Amino acid sequence: SRSSWCCCGQTFKEHSAIHKHVARTHDTEIQQLTQATYKCLLNQLEEEPEAQQLNERKSRPVDICVWIPETGHTSEDGPGTVLLYYHYCQLEDPHVICAWQKALCEKLHLTGKVRVATEGINGTVGGTNMATNLYIEAMCSHPLFKMDKEDFKTSDGGAECFTDLRIGVYKEIVPMGVDPDVISYQLAGVHLEPEEFHKEVEALLAEGDSCSDTILLDCRNFYESKIGQFTRCLAPDIRKFSYFPDYVDQNLELFKDKKVLMYCTGGIRCERGSAYLRSKDVCKEVYQLKGGIHKYLEQYPEGFYRGKLFVFDERYAISSNSDVISDCRYCSCPWDKYELCSTQFCCQLVLSCPSCRQNGHTACCPTCQTKGQAKSEASPAVLHHKEECECTCGRPRIPQDMPFICFKHKFTDSLKFE
C-alpha cells in the first residue's frame, strides 16, 4: 500500500504535494525548528571534546610508578624516624592514591598506617632516616598534595614501631563519625602557631581561676590526656574521637559564649572537631593549635604541656620533659608507661608499675585479672575480640562535665580512676 500524509485536515498521497504544503503553510515553524536543532547540535559538539577527555582520563590506567622516586637500594638498617602527617585536599580517585601509597611504602620498607579518602590523606609511618626522607620528598612532589616538609612531624623510632603496614580507603581520614560533606574541615577554627598558642595559654594561666570565659580543650581520648596534657585544660573522659560530637552536643551550655582553645596530637582531630563545635554556633571564638602538641613540643619542650605525648604505635608515648602526671593503677605511685592488658583479646591499656607487675597485677582491672587467670587454668576456648570489662562497662560513654571553674580539681581526682 502507498503511504499518505495528513496535515491541516488534508490528505496528501505524493511527496511533492506534502512538501509544497509544508513549504507554503509552515515555513516560519520550520525555520524555528531548524534553528533550535542547529543550536542543540552545536552545543553537543562543543561539550563532546571535554566529556571525551574526562572519560579518557577515567578509563586510562594511571601509572603510579611516575610518583615513586628512584631509590636504588634502600637499606633497612640504620637510625630511624616515625612520621606523622595529614593533608586535606580533593581526591577524585582515592583508590589510585591508596595503590601508590602501598607501592611507595613497600619500596621504602616503611611500616605504619595510612588512611585515604576523597577529602585527603592521613598517615603515620616509620622507617630509616633515608627512607622517611624519600617518603617526604615523594609526598611534597606529588601534584595533588603539594605538601611542605613542615607539614610532617618527626620523632625518633623506625619500622619496628609498627607491627605491619596498613593502607586503606575510608569515608573520613580521621574517624569522627560525621559525614565530611555535612561537616567539612573547611569550617575549622582559626589556626594558631605554637608561639601564639603558647601566649594564649600563658595569659589564661596568669588570670587563674578568675578566667571563666576561656576553655583550653583537649580533644583526644582519656588515656592520652591521662599521661600528658596542657596545664589547666578540660580533658573529656571519652574513649574514642567518634564520641566527641556527642560530647559537644551534651555539653553545649559549657561552651556557650566561651573562647575555646583546642589541641590534639598532630592537629587533624582539631580540624574536624573545631568545625563541629563551630557548627553549633554557641562559642564566642574557636581556635586550634596548628601542628598539634607535636609541633608545640618542638619549640617548647619545657612549656605548658606536661608529661608524655601518647602516640598510636608500639612506643605508646614519647617525652620532652620529665614530668610524670599519672599514677599506677594498683598502688597509685607515679607511673606513666602503658602496657597492654595481659588478658587475651582485652585490648585495654594499663598503667602498672614494675613492682605491681612483679606481684602479678598485669591486667587493666581486677575483673580482667581474674578472668585471665581462669582462662589460663581452663582448657582453650573460643575468645571474643575486645571483651568488655570494668574499664569499659563502668565508664560513661559521654560524660557530663562540670563548670570550668571545677576542671582543675575534677581532673586531679580522675587521674586515679582507670
pLDDT, averaged in runs of 10, over the chain (418 residues)? 76 76 76 70 61 51 65 70 97 95 95 97 97 95 92 96 97 96 95 98 88 92 97 94 96 96 98 97 97 97 97 95 95 96 86 95 86 60 54 67 44 33
Task: Looking at the structure, tell me whether residues 223 and 294 fall in a common domain.
Answer: yes
Task: Looking at the structure, tell me whether residues 34 and 125 fall in a common domain.
Answer: no
What nine digits make up the cell of 205?
594561666
Give the domain CATH number at 138: 3.30.70.100
- Partners of 338 in the β-ladder: 351
Q: Using an 8 Å Cβ cutoff, are 135 and 108 in contact?
A: yes
In the numeric block, the cell 582553645 is attached to 261
User: Residue 390 falls within a domain, yes or no?
Assistant: no
**Rounded Cα gap, residues 85 and 408, in angstroms:** 31
User: Residue 23 falls within a domain, yes or no?
Assistant: yes
Q: Using an 8 Å Cβ cutoff, are 380 and 408 in contact?
A: no
Radius of gyration of the chain (CA): 31
What nine digits make up the cell of 265?
596530637
The DSSP secondary-structure symbol of 201 reads H
Helix (H) or strand (E) holding 122: strand 120-128
Helix (H) or strand (E) holding 352: none
Task: Looking at the structure, tell me whether residues 223 and 164 fall in a common domain.
Answer: no
Final residue in a domain of this structure, among 256, 286, 319: 319
Domain of 114 in residue numbering reads as 64-169
User: How deeply is 357 buried, as exposed, middle or buried, from its count of CB atoms within 10 A (0-12, 13-18, 19+)?
Assistant: middle
Task: Looking at the structure, tell me whether residues 301 and 191 fall in a common domain.
Answer: yes
**Rounded Cα gap, residues 384 and 369, in angstroms:** 16
User: Residue 333 falls within a domain, yes or no?
Assistant: no
Number of domains composing the chain: 3
Cα separations in angstroms, 148 against 87, 153, 299: 10, 11, 18
Q: Is 264 a catalytic residue?
A: yes
Distance of CA 238 to the CA centre of its chain: 17
User: Residue 375 falls within a domain, yes or no?
Assistant: no
User: Residue 234 falls within a domain, yes or no?
Assistant: yes
Give the domain CATH number at 246: 3.40.250.10
3-class SS of residue 26: coil
Q: For helices 292-299 and 194-207, what crossing angle results, to 10°?
A: 80
What pTM was estimated for this model as a whole?
0.77
Task: Looking at the structure, tell me whether residues 134 and 78 fall in a common domain.
Answer: yes
Final residue in a domain of this structure, among 253, 286, 319: 319
Final residue in a domain of this structure, among 141, 169, 197: 169
Q: Using an 8 Å Cβ cutoff, are 283 and 255 in contact?
A: yes
**Looking at 161, 264, 283, 356, which residue is catalytic?**
264
Q: Using an 8 Å Cβ cutoff, are 225 and 218 in contact?
A: yes
Task: Looking at the structure, tell me whether residues 41 and 138 fall in a common domain.
Answer: no
